[in-house]
Structure 1
Amino acid sequence: MTRLLIIEDNPELVANLYGFFEPLGYVLDDARDGATGLRMATQNGYDAIVLDLMLPRLDGMGLCRRLREEFQNPVPVLMLTARDPVEDRVQGLALGADDYLVKPFSLRELHARIQALVRRAQGRQVQGLLAWEDLQVDTRTPRAWRQGRAIGLTPTTHKLALCLVRAAPAVARKQELEYLLWGDEPPESGALRTHIHDLRQQVDKNFTQPLIETVHGVGWRLRRPGEAAPE
């Protein structure tokens, strides 16, 4: 049984989502404004959240930021937007959204994306930890473990590690990571690479199989130990 929270102020769309998901066995709750949605998201346990970008009282961006940074809640978030500029998508993903759909969308596609997010989260989230393969990262404090060995993280590398684990095995794009660390005013171009280097020193240096892979011209991702490096 999958429990889904819908944070959306369009009553017709909410009704359509209930009509589609309830016959599939989903348990649904809904909120019509961001403030109520944030309260419900932090007080109840959900398997995934469908979050509209444009909401009264607290918009989707602000809600997602508070959910991740203030409450350290790792529940998968799929963001809905009526717009399709790259900046909106990058900002939403950088703030902690796991996926997005542009309205109008197919309910079947929404269902498939939610299923994928829930499967991914079930394999990574255990008692306040996010995990990928043999790496575990505490969602609340800058601590991590690999193969059971403690890894010291700085606040900055902790943010990067959480973003990479949430995205894995997909790529965390350079623009997303820069926005995560510095908002709309990133420093000179080499700063992010310096922090990624520091994270590699902490996560990969003392282990046989590296996890962090550079995807040239795009960003970075976590790969599986033993996976062949790209040519």
Structure 2
Amino acid sequence: MVKQLVLVVEDDEMIRELLATYLEKQGYEVLTAEDGEEAIEKFQLNSPCLVILDLMLPKVSGEEVCRWIREQERNEVSIIMLTAKVSSEEKINGLKIGADDYVIKPFSPDELMARVEAVLRRGGQFCQKISHEGLTIKPRKGEVLLNGEKLSLTKYEFNLLYFFMENPDVVLTREQLIQQIHPHADASIMDRTIDAHIKKLREKIEEVPSKPKRIQTVRGMGYRFVK
């Protein structure tokens, strides 16, 4: 099962590491950022399902990061604001600009984990994805993004990429790939078709298709998606 990815944005190192530890124990994959600029960069590259966002950040404020996420039409991403700002007005403003929940410091890690589970239960089913180095596939939505930009893939290209990304660093034979996209096809014909699909897929996801870094040929065996 693919883990849900959480981005923790917090300039206090102790709090940042505490949250990462708790989230990993709960089975989430975790990325961290210590300022708003780093948060936007990691968000673009990794497309997390949830952002735990401190508001008082260096370089770019948490409010600005939240607005930026929502301006990207990323409404499937859950945002929990984490802040020492305690007034009702500030809380209302945080919810208005796009937060799903608002947690006041100091906080109980157990309570925060319960809130994480709650917001992902409400919206996380739309956020099933696999991401690596700027390449993200969303199987439920049928979308593939490269550095935040949507790619146009055929059904066969999409299914191949999904199979590769579900099995990173595993050598997949042509026979396995054929079974994935054409289970009843003639294998002798489909060998060439698989190669053609992979050539087209490389043209869409590789920086230099002739020297692929993501989908590599393993001579005499098949192909491997390198994570």
How does the TM-score come out when normalised to structure 1? 0.52
| Counterparts of residues 210-229 of structure 1 (less than 5 Å) | none
**Equivalent pairs: percent with the same residue?**
37
Aligned residues: 128
Aligned to 2:18: 16
User: 1:3/1:39 Cα in 2 relative to 1: closer, same or farther (>3 Å)?
Assistant: same
Question: What's the CA shift string for 1:40-99, capped at 9, x where partnerless?
Answer: 113212121100010001101111111112x11121000011121111111111111110
Q: 1:41 aligns with which of 40, 43, 64?
A: 43
Aligned to 1:115: 117
Question: What's the CA shift string for 1:169-192, capped at 9, x where partnerless?
Answer: xxxxxxxxxxxxxxxxxxxxxxxx
Q: Would you say the 8 A contact 1:42–1:73 is kept in 2?
A: no
Aligned to 2:101: 99
Aligned to 2:153: none
**Unaligned 5+ runs, structure 1:** 129-231
- In 2: Cα distance, 1:103 partner to 1:86 partner: 14
Aligned to 2:60: 58
Q: Would you say the 8 A contact 1:64–1:96 is kept in 2?
A: yes
Aligned to 1:73: 74
Q: Runs ≥4 in structure 1, deviation > 6 angstroms?
A: none
Aligned to 2:92: 90
User: 1:26/1:123 Cα in 2 relative to 1: closer, same or farther (>3 Å)?
Assistant: closer
Aligned partner letter, 2:98: G
- In 2: Cα distance, 1:124 partner to 1:19 partner: 25
- Larger RCO, structures 1/2 (Cα 8 Å, 6+ apart): 2
**1:124 positional shift:** 5.5
- In 1: Cα distance, 2:92 partner to 2:63 partner: 11
- In 1: Cα distance, 2:47 partner to 2:117 partner: 17
**Bigger CA radius of gyration:** 2
- In 2: Cα distance, 1:109 partner to 1:14 partner: 16
Aligned partner letter, 2:80: L
- In 2: Cα distance, 1:46 partner to 1:7 partner: 12
Q: Would you say the 8 A contact 1:33–1:57 is kept in 2?
A: yes
Aligned to 1:2: 4
- In 2: Cα distance, 1:100 partner to 1:58 partner: 19
Which secondary structure does the structure 2 equivalent of 1:79 belong to? strand
